[in-house]
Structure 1
């Protein structure tokens, strides 16, 4: 799975999607309801790094598999919607079979 660009994208997308959910569901409530801003600082920084890796993985797959502009836009949009990366993963898995 790690030897293939789509396999790497699926793994990075899953981890990035999980970090986004942790940021929204855990770190943000800790910051705003319990006044613990460090949670967002730590999780947000990690999520930012994972997002950069995600973008690089999308770029790699775009050139390796000659993705259309529509596929690239869908992959980038998926990163901004909660659970979007998991929808992307299911589509990538379905298309790889």
Structure 2
């Protein structure tokens, strides 16, 4: 279980950072007409988000999260900064032994 939690924590941070990079790339694309960064960061974020989903579902099954808690954690990777918050809450709840 500790390995699954560590994988989740790493992926939550990685996805959060790449989502912020994607937001910056979108600003460059639409404000400065420089879309090259989107062509690189977009697919990388998409792949990493898919990995995040698999790892989060694995952790949810191991810790027996509710459907609502699982869906909220899965959606956390789509809103800037929320994956960092979700990671912190998951770690707190897991340490307390409380399912999401």
Same fold, TM-score > 0.5, yes or no: yes
Distance 1:91 1:18 in 2: 18
Q: What's the CA shift for 1:84?
A: 0.8
Distance 2:10 2:48 in 1: 11
Structure 2 match to 1:18? 17
Structure 1 match to 2:80? 82
Structure 2 match to 1:61? 59
Q: Which runs of 5+ in 1 are unaligned?
A: none
Q: What TM-score, normalized to structure 1?
A: 0.88
- CA-based RMSD: 1.6
Runs of 4+ in structure 1 deviating by more than 3 angstroms, as ranges, are none
Using a 3 Å threshold, how does the CA distance of structure 1 residues 57 and 49 change in structure 2: closer, same or farther? same
Q: What TM-score, normalized to structure 2?
A: 0.86
Structure 2 match to 1:40? 38
Aligned length: 95
Determine which of 88, 93, 96 is the counterpart of 1:95. Answer: 93
